[in-house]
Every structure is written in C-alpha cells, then in structure tokens.
Chains A and B, each alone.
Chain A
Amino acid sequence: MSVIRVTDVYKKFRVYYDKGATLKEKTLFKNRNRYEDRWVLKGISFELNKGEAIGLIGENGCGKSTMLKMLTRIMYPDQGTIEVNGRVSSLIELGAGFHPDMSGRENIYTNAAIFGLTKKEIDDRMEDIIEFSELGGYIDNPVRTYSSGMYMRLAFSVAINVDADILLIDEILAVGDTNFQAKCFGRLKELKNNGVTIVIVTHDTNTVSSFCNKAIWIDDGKVVASGKAKTVVDEYLRFMNQKLYEAMERRQREKEEKERQEAIARGDKTAFCFTVNSSHLTTYDVKWKMGDQSGVFELHPGINRVQVEFRLQPGENRWCFETDMPMRVLDTDPRKLCFSMAGYEVKNGVFVEGIVDLSWGVGTYGAESDEGGYWRWVQDKGEIVFEFAEMNEETIALHKSRKLQSYDRSSTRYGLRTTEITDARFVNCKGESVIALYQGECVDLEISYHVSRPSDQGYVFGMGFYTMDYECIYGVNTRLDGHDIASVPRDGKVTFKIKDLPLMAGKYILQVAIEDGNSIPLDYVKDYMHFDVVSNEKGMGTTFIKHDWIIE
C-alpha cells in the first residue's frame, strides 16, 4: 500500500526582478512587478510504501527541499498530484512556535498541538518526550533560559514522539552532541521498523546509504535516478566527482587563459627591468616573473645595468626579446630565430652566464661553448639562439669555476642545471594534459628535459608524490627500478606510467628530479606542482588498497 504517491509534479516560483509590495509601488512602478517563472520541479513522480525510508539527494537548488515542503503541504504543486495518507510529522524546522517565556512543559503542549495532537494525546506522551529530551528538572524553566542544544533536544523530542505515520526530515540530524544524535538515529530506526515511512533530505550521503532503503536523485527538477539507496548514492557521487573534476579542470584552463590574456594586454610594453646595484656579491640571482612563468638571470659582478623586455603580441604565440644591449638578427627563419647581442655595457667584468627558465625553453649563456659563448634557447620546434659577441679569457675562467659551485638543498629547486626539467605534466588515458586526476584511472607523468651539457656520469630520473604536509606517499627513481641511463638525447621526455592511480581524494604535491649517476642533483624540483585527485571511494587516508571483504 502506498503511503505517499507523487505523480508528475511541477512547481514554479515567481522570481521578481525588483519586488514592490506596497500600494505605491504596485501602482506607480508597474514594471517593478515584472517577474519570471522559474520551474524548480519539472515532473517528479515517485511512490512510497509503508515502512520505507527514502532519501532525496541532489545538488543545492535541485528542488529536493521544495519537494519536501510540498509533501508537508506547506506549498502546493502547480501541476500534478501528491497523495499523502496518514499523519505527517515534519522535522523540517524544529521548535517552530516555541514561546520563549513559557516553560518547556507548556511549550511541549503548544508545539505538539501544531502537529495536530489533542491534549489527551499530549498528556500520554509527556513523560516520553521529557525523558527523551534529557532535560530533567529544566523542563519547568522558561525556554529562553535554555541553551541552544537543550532547545533543539526538546524540539526534536516533541517531533519524534508525535506518533506520525510519515516523518519528513530536512537536514536536521545535527542535533545536540554525538550521543544524542546516536539516540535520535536509534529512535528513527525503531520508528522505521514500526512501519513509519520516513523521507530524508540531506547532503550526507552516508546517512542515505546506511539508513534508507530507497533513494531518489533529483537534478534540475527531474528525477535522474531512483531505486536502491546504495546504487543511487554511488551514481550520484560519481556524477558529483565528475563535476568537481570538470570544475577544477575548467578553473585551471580559465586561469591559464586569463594569464595569457593579461600577458598579451601588458604585451606592448611588458617589461621586466632590473638594475644591478650591488657589487660586493659574487653572484647575482636576478629573478623575473611574467604571468606564472619565472626564472633567474644569474649575473656576475660588474654589470651595472641590463634591461630586457619581453613582448607577447596579441594573436601571436611568440615572445619578442628586447634589450638595451643591442642585438643583431642573425637569421629570420621563423623556425630558427637567431639574435646576437653586442655592445652591452660592461664594467669591471662580464656578463658570463644567464639562465632563462621558461616553460618552453632553457637558455644558458656560456655553458655551451667555452670559446664562443652563445646562449641557446629552444622553443618547441623553433630555436632562438642568442650569441654574445664579446668573450674573453676572464669570462671563460669564471664560467669554469662556476661548474664547481655548490648547490643549496634547502631551496625548493636546486641542482647544477646542466640538465634541466623543462616540463612535467600529467596526461590521462585519452592523451589530454590534466591537473585533476581520477583515483583508479591510468595516468602518465611526463617529464621533459633539456640537456645543455651532457653528463658523463649518466642520468637518474625520479618522481615523488607528497601530501600537502610534505609527507612522502611514494617516491622512486629510474636507478631504484633498475634502469641504467648512460646517455639521453638533447631534448627528451621520460614517462612514468601509472596503471591505476592509487591516491585517494585530496590535494598532493608532485616532486620531479634529475640526478647524475653519482647522485649529484642536476635539477631537483621539490615542489613542482600541486594536483588534485578525485575519488569515488569512501575509505580514509591517502592511498587506496585494492581489497575485498569476506564475512564469515
């Protein structure tokens, strides 16, 4: 026998653009009363039998609370019918109608009367209600002296003790302390077993899958799925994760696009200028930043002023390089742009080595050739070569001494940089570059590198996943896995293939590194990027362990 039968229910709300409720406004500003109809429910049908518990789930604003309000008969559908057979008690708003100046006992009378109980029925239940509320001697004090927890306990006790045939609950299971909550749940289960039909609206999917036997997933005013609670909840969670994933991806894309647009907007005179004004340091690290790209120029003492300008022309994907060091265009072939720099001002020293670190290229001056000293900069397929005109013995000596310079392990990126990581990215099964990953799906970590000076000690590529608290979840490298890499191409890519990602939902840090065979770091990036993982699994912790339960 169906206790609740909802047949093809439609409900619209009037959304006023600017509502005027007074006579003056109604007559003088006719257009202020314009409104549009918003359909919040578009044809909902379901049926509930005696003793069933059903969970209505869905995103915020999907219409589930409206559905509940119509079951309560606070609102009425515009189309369709709702049949409810039996006494309804709603735990939608607890304590409605409480009078602060009256005692708890008196309020029980008024509150229970709101549920349609007669005085005799209330008298019969009085002891149960007081006992369930655990208010004890406070019951005869005015309600205004109650703490919020006491207030809610009293209200809940009344609502749950009215002996309803149908109980409607909206997101109110956060009543009182955990013990009282457990007690409420126990009571709800008891009622369910006694044949009370229960409808719950909640975002807590655990409650739905553990407590309800049926669930209905409403999205945009329509029933997307209904049936066994567990199945519907899983389906819903999958959908929500997909949505989260897409939102994260979209945010990332938007962020990238925005930065690009900003770079273009700044483009016609986007400049980074730096003035070197300290002469007592041995090496300057001149950091520059543009968009999310940044890098370091390393200058040695004596250069007073270097000014470089980057420009990104609208519609172009090409960086222009301008400097007050005069440059000479050597080759105008778009695939191979060569500039030369000459006549830059040098006092008491030389501009020996520079490193520009862009996501698409690495350039070093002086590292490539001891004699010539040119700066090579590779961008995708095209090549930009900077040639420095002046080079002398002093330059070369300095350059050589630099090779022996130590590295600072405390910084998030360190290493000799003779081989550098130019890019590290996640690529999903479909070959798309992503920053949000799915637990249980295959994903490739691609590490691109550029060798500016080959190592004679071989190469070791490594990766690591860390929690945001910087605790290692997993880290490994090619040597540990038994790969001996003696030599690599100038530009290449190392792929770390993951068959099914075991990380649970959360935010993680990616570490990537290149070392030489003697464990000397060539390029070690402790915090390369943060990435998100979404998961349909409900277990705890950071890693998923494949498992089955056997209950005997």
Chain B
Amino acid sequence: MKLFREIYEYRQMIFGLVKRDLRGRYKGSVLGFLWTFLNPLLQLLVYTFLFSTILRSDIDKYYLHLFVALIPWMFFAASVQGGAGCVLNQAGMITKIYFPREVLPIAHVTSQFVNMLYTFVVVMAVVLLAGVFPSLMALLQLPIIMFIEYCLALGLTMLISSVTVYFRDLEYIMGIVTMAWQFLCPVVYSIDLVESIAKSYPWAMKIYMLNPMTPIVLAFRDILYYGKPADLSTLWLAAVLAAICLIVGFAVFGRLKCRFAEEL
C-alpha cells in the first residue's frame, strides 16, 4: 500500500514522462503532433487500398474489420515490446536518482495508451463514416475494455522490463514473440475462420480463447465493427488474466528492482 501511495506522490513524474514521450515523439518533424492522427489515417489508406484491390477479402468492409482490431493490438504490442527496454534505457536515471521504479513501466504503458486514445479520434471518425453506429451500451463498454487491456499490458510490461535488466536477450525475444502473438489473435483474420477450423477440436478452441488478447480484440470488434455490446462471458476471463498479470508483474518487479542500480 505504501508503494501505491508513493507512486501516487510521483504522479507528476509519470505525467511528465508521458508528456515528454508524446511530445518528444514527433519533435523536430514538420507536422509534429499532427502525425499522431496522420499516422493511423495513412495506415488505414494503405490497408483499404491493399484489401480492396489486391488481396480481396470476402469479409464486408474488411478495412474496418482490420482497423478496429489493429489499433488496440498496436497499443499492446508497442507496450510490451518497447516496454522491455523501458527500465534499461533509463539506466542514467536509475543509477543516479531515487524514484519509485514502477514509474518507468507505468509511464511507458500510459504513454502508449494515451497515444491510442488520440488514435481513437481517427478510429471513431472512420467507424461513423463507414456507417456503423454502435449502441450506447456498447460505447459505455469501451472504456472498460480499454482498462482491462491497459492492466494486461502494464502487468506484462512490468514483468518483462524488470527481467530484461538481468537478461537482456529478452528485449529481442519479445520482438518475435509479439509478432507471433499477433497471429494468435484474430486481428487480420476473423474469429469465424478459427471456429470453422477448430470445429472438430473443441479443446483447441478453448486453448485459443485462453489468450487474453483474443477476447479483448473481439470486444473491440464487436463494438466498433458490429456496433453491438461485447460478449462479456469471454471478457471475464481476460479481466481475471489481466489482474493476475498485474499482480505478478508488480510482485516480480518489486523483487527485482532492488538491484537495478547495480546491474545497469
């Protein structure tokens, strides 16, 4: 509890780091902050072009189908993959001054999260333009799902960033793991595809659904693509897994942080 109070006391540092990261990201470029919106928009253009002319998909409005899943996934991937080095890269600060070390992964994930929120301005615009009008109930679910994803990403980032200090290969291993993970989630394909394949193996489907990112991605798609409230039955599992991840993450981080200054 003392730890959380201390983290709260250092909230300004978290804000500062997030702000520094967001503002520093496009600093020096001509368009600057505009890139935060421009980037997903251009991505969308590429996907739309790709899947409407070259790789034709039989899914209706495939670009939207992909886009509403891809943006939350990119937040998760960037958190976990980039998060591996978030303690390591701040060696200068760790070895020189005191602050609750948890601030670093929290700031990293929060910065990615805020970035996703900005992107959602574009997402929402695209969703409405595509003619999907999510119900009020569905829209109210959106923050909850985002929160679950945030917790999951934070827990994993805590775990990975602290272990990376002692085992630096993890940073590169995570690159491959997140790539593989993306294809284990129904991001580029539809869940119906998995269901049709796994029809004769119900246990395989169960294992597939154990991946906490699957219900999260599906929930985003339910709300933003189908415009209906998410399937809460699977989301519960994701929430529980996210909570476990967070607890384990904090516990491991708390144990490993004592010798950060010596290892860096």
Interface residues of A (CB under 8 A from B): 13-14, 21-23, 26, 69, 72-76, 88, 90, 92-93, 96-97, 99, 101-102, 109-110, 112-119, 122
Q: List 20 A-B contacts (CB under 8 A).
A: A14-B262, A26-B167, A73-B98, A74-B95, A74-B261, A75-B262, A76-B258, A90-B97, A93-B95, A93-B97, A96-B97, A97-B97, A101-B28, A110-B16, A113-B16, A114-B16, A114-B97, A115-B97, A118-B9, A118-B11
Nearest CB of chain A from residue B17's CB, rounded to whole Å: 7
Instruction: Please name all residues of chain B whose beta carbon is closer than 8 Å to the beta carbon of A22 when the two chains form the complex.
Output: 168-169
**Chain B: minimal CB distance from A407 (Å):** 66
Give the Cβ gap from A389 to chain B, nearest Cβ, in Å.
80
Measured CB to CB, the closest approach of chain B to A307, in angstroms, equals 66
Would B167 and A72 count as touching, CB distance under 8 A? no
Q: B168, A122: Cβ atoms under 8 Å?
A: no
How far apart are the CA atoms of A75 and B96 in the complex, in Å?
A: 10
- In the bound complex, how far is the Cα of B93 from the Cα of A99, in angstroms? 12
Q: Are B27 and A97 in contact (CB under 8 A)?
A: no
Question: When the two chains form their complex, are residues B13 and A101 in contact, meaning their CB atoms are under 8 A apart?
Answer: no
Count the B residues whose beta carbon is within 8 Å of the partner chain — how many? Answer: 29
For B167, list chain A residues within 8 Å (CB): 21, 23, 26
Contact with A along B1-32 (1 / 0, CB 8 A): 00000000111110111011001100110000
Nearest-CB distance from B98 to chain A (Å)?
4
A117 to B202, CA, bound (A): 55
Closest to B173 in A: A23
**What B residues does A73 contact at CB under 8 A?**
98
User: Are B99 and A75 in contact (CB-based, < 8 A)?
Assistant: no
On chain A, the residues within 8 Å of B16 by CB distance are 109-110, 113-114
CB < 8 Å: which of A14, A26, A113 contacts B15? A113
CB atoms of A113 and B97 under 8 A apart: no
Beyond A23-B169, A96-B97, A116-B99, 11 additional contacts (C-beta under 8 Å) are: A21-B168, A69-B261, A74-B94, A74-B96, A92-B96, A99-B20, A101-B28, A110-B16, A116-B9, A116-B12, A118-B11
Known: A22-B169, A75-B261, A92-B97. A114 touches B13 (CB 8 A): yes
Interface of B is mostly: helix
Nearest chain A CB to B174 CB, angstrom units: 13
A-B CB proximity, top 3 nearest? A93-B96, A113-B13, A110-B16
Q: CB-CB < 8 A to B11: which residues of A?
A: 118
With most chain B CB atoms within 10 A of its CB, the pick from A74, A88, A117 is A74
Q: How far is the CA of A96 from the CA of B261 in the complex (A)?
A: 14
- Report the bound CA distance from A109 to B15 in whole Å: 10
A93-B97, A96-B97, A110-B17 as given contacts; A119 in contact with B12, CB under 8 Å: yes
Binding site for A on B (CB under 8 A): 9-13, 15-17, 19-20, 23-24, 27-28, 92-99, 167-169, 258-259, 261-262
B97: which A residues are within 8 A, CB to CB? Answer: 72, 74, 90, 92-93, 96-97, 114-115
Q: Which of B9, B93, B98, B258 has the most CB of A within 10 A?
A: B98
User: Shortest CB–CB separation between residue B5 and chain A, in angstroms?
Assistant: 11
Chain A residues with CB under 8 Å of B99's CB are 114, 116
Residue of A nearest to B9 (CB): A116
Q: Across the interface, do B15 and A119 meet the contact criterion of CB distance under 8 Å?
A: yes
Picked from A69, A93, A101, A115, the residue with its CB within 8 Å of the CB of B27 is A101
Chain A residues whose CB sits within 8 angstroms of the CB of B169 once the complex forms: 22-23
B93, A101: Cβ atoms closer than 8 Å = no
Chain A's closest residue to B169 (CB) is A23
- Write out the residue numbers on chain B whose beta carbons fall within 8 Å of the beta carbon of A117: 12
Contacts of B24 in A (CB 8 A): 99, 101-102
Output the nearest chain A residue to B27 by Cβ-Cβ distance.
A101
Is the CB–CB distance between B92 and A88 below 8 Å? no
Minimum distance in angstroms from B11 CB to a CB of chain A: 7
Q: Which of B9, B20, B27, B97 has the largest number of chain A CB atoms within 10 A?
A: B97
Tell me, in angstroms, the Cα distance from A90 to B207 when the chains sit together. Answer: 51
**B residues in contact with A74, CB < 8 Å:** 94-98, 261
Task: Report chain B residues within 8 Å CB of A122.
Answer: 12
A244 to B13, CA, bound (A): 47
The answer to whether A113 and B23 touch across the interface, beta carbons within 8 angstroms, is: no
